[in-house]
Every structure is written in C-alpha cells, then in structure tokens.
Amino acid sequence: PIHILIIPKKAMRDVSCVEDEDAEIVGELFLAARDLVQKLGIKGGYRLVVNNGPQAGQAVFHLHMHLLAGRDFTWPPG
C-alpha cells in the first residue's frame, strides 16, 4: 500500500484556517497529488484525504493531504 503526505510550506492549522489568498496553495496540493500519481504509475484508483479537527482524526495540526493507493478501499471510510 501507498501512503504519502502532501504538505504545503505555509503553516495552516486546518481547512478552517485557509484564507481566500491561499487558493493557489490549496490547488497546488491537488496538482502535487496528480503529479505523484503519474510519477508512481498508480493505476486502479486512489484516495485523497484531509482530516479536519480531532474528531475527524487530525493528529498533526498543520494542513496536509494523504495520498492513499495500492489497495481496495471501502465506503463509508472510518
């Protein structure tokens, strides 16, 4: 299984702290995920996860995205 963290350089606690001027940074998270998927040759799907707040499982309070792949996922998660 693949589990990669994508972390912006700008410190933002979570999604609730994202400002309008951070739109480009947030977009770059998704572009980085796309580029990693292509570079690693990930086929058959992947999941992007952003946990927001302790009840959602956020343990590191710096905004980041998880790229998960290489296994089957179920729904609902959790």
Catalytic residues: 64
- What amino acid is encoded at 1 in this protein? P
> What are the C-alpha distances in Å from 49 to residues 3, 16, 46?
10, 15, 10
Give the span between the Cα atoms of 50 and 14, in whole angstroms: 9
- Location of structure tokens 């609730």: 16
| Residue 1: closest CA among 36, 46, 50 | 46
